[in-house]
């Protein structure tokens, strides 16, 4: 009885989820910048690449659903029409040229229909447009370090650690996602992010921007984004890197140009005094 009740409950939950998916309710419920309860689709996107990525994902889900339903229909037809009871004398058909041509060409066409938007999206992600700002992100076990180059008004670097005490979290910072020193960027600007790691493999990921790039020691990868909306966005290290892996969030604050200028001036003071900036000066001199 108990098992039946729980089965009934999971069936109800599943059908509710299916209905929600079909009606696109999950799309509306999806949080932007951070995950939200009962979210089933991707997070709301605030970059063009992110939106295209999310649309490509939806397109693939529908394509896969159509293929699954078609195969299921074929299976049902075969079970009903060609079972042993209805066909005591089995058919001896072995070949059907038209059918064989069809089941070769149709999958090829489906793959082409996937490949074209897929390569278009890859190109969009990998070809970085003229950048307004360059930021370097370095993955450490287990936190992120950010560096703003001197020739763009920066010339400082700082570490970004997860906030561990609940009392230190700001109202807009979820637990396990809030960072003490977030990355701050201006809205509507092309930000190029150079990504590397200092010890083991990490991955720099920001779901609402459609960004995910490996952080590999000894290698400088790059990605880019142009956030269209001011706000606070959260991501996480997305390459299993050790026992602190879930505790190295990425927090990006997208602010207006004036706010960014104010932050930059403040950050220059703050991080220069914290960091000693000796090593940075040396790096800049080289
Ligand atoms: Cu990790």
Q: What is the 3-state secondary structure (H, E, C) of 106-156?
A: HHHHHHHHHHHHHHHHHHHHHCCCCCCEEEEEEEECCEEEEEECHHHCCCE
Q: Which tokens sit at 6?
A: 């729980």
CB atoms under 10 Å from CB of 65, counted, come to 12
- CA-to-CA distance for 43 and 209, rounded, in angstroms? 9
- CA-to-CA distance for 177 and 235, rounded, in angstroms? 7
251 and 146 Cβ atoms separated by less than 8 Å: no
Instruction: List the pLDDT tens digit at each of the 286 positions of the chain.
Output: 444 545 555 555 555 445 444 445 444 446 788 988 888 889 999 999 999 999 999 999 999 999 999 999 999 999 999 898 988 888 888 899 999 999 999 999 999 999 999 999 999 999 999 999 999 999 999 999 999 998 888 889 999 999 998 888 988 889 999 999 999 999 999 999 999 999 999 999 999 999 999 999 999 999 999 999 999 999 999 999 999 999 999 999 999 999 999 999 999 988 876 544 444 444 443 3
Q: Which tokens sit at 56?
A: 């490509």
- CA-to-CA distance for 106 and 104, rounded, in angstroms? 6
- CA-to-CA distance for 141 and 86, rounded, in angstroms? 65
- CA-to-CA distance for 218 and 221, rounded, in angstroms? 10
Task: For residue 224, give the DSSP letter.
Answer: E
- 248 CA distance to ligand 1 centroid (A)? 7
Grouping H, G, I as helix, E, B as strand and the rest as coil, residue 234 is strand
- 76 CA distance to ligand 1 centroid (A)? 45
- 176 CA distance to ligand 1 centroid (A)? 13
- 96 CA distance to ligand 1 centroid (A)? 53
pLDDT (0 to 100) of residue 11: 52
Q: Which tokens sit at 142?
A: 């287990």
pLDDT (0 to 100) of residue 278: 42
- 45 CA distance to ligand 1 centroid (A)? 23
- 20 CA distance to ligand 1 centroid (A)? 32
- 150 CA distance to ligand 1 centroid (A)? 28
Instruction: Enumerate residues 6+ apart whose C-beta is below 8 A from 63.
Output: 110, 113, 114
pLDDT (0 to 100) of residue 284: 41
pLDDT (0 to 100) of residue 190: 97
pLDDT (0 to 100) of residue 153: 82
């Amino acid at each position: 009885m108990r098992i039946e009740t729980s089965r009934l409950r999971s069936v109800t939950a599943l059908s509710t989820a299916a209905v929600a998916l079909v009606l696109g309710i999950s799309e509306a419920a999806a949080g932007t910048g951070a995950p939200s309860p009962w979210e089933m689709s991707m997070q709301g996107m605030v970059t063009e690449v992110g939106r295209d990525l999310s649309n490509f994902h939806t397109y693939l889900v529908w394509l896969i659903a159509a293929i699954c339903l078609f195969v299921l229909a074929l299976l049902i037809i075969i079970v009903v029409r060609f079972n042993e009871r209805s066909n005591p004398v089995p058919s001896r058909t072995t070949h059907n040229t038209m059918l064989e041509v069809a089941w070769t060409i149709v999958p090829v066409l489906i793959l082409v229909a996937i490949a074209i938007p897929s390569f278009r999206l890859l190109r969009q992600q990998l070809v970085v447009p003229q950048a307004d700002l360059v930021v370097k992100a370095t993955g450490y076990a287990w936190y992120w370090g950010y560096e703003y180059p001197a020739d763009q008004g920066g010339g400082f670097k700082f570490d970004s650690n997860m906030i561990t005490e609940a009392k230190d979290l700001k109202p807009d910072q979820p637990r396990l996602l809030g960072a003490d020193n977030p990355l701050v960027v201006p809205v509507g600007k092309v930000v190029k992010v150079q990504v590397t790691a200092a010890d083991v493999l990490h991955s720099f990921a920001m779901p609402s921007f459609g960004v995910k790039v490996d952080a590999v020691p000894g290698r400088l990868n790059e990605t880019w984004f142009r956030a269209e909306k001011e706000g606070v966005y959260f991501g996480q290290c997305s390459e299993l890197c050790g026992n602190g892996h879930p505790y190295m969030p990425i927090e990006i604050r997208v602010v207006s140009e004036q706010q960014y200028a104010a932050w930059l001036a403040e950050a220059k003071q703050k991080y220069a005094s914290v960091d000693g900036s000796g090593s940075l000066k040396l790096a800049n001199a080289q």
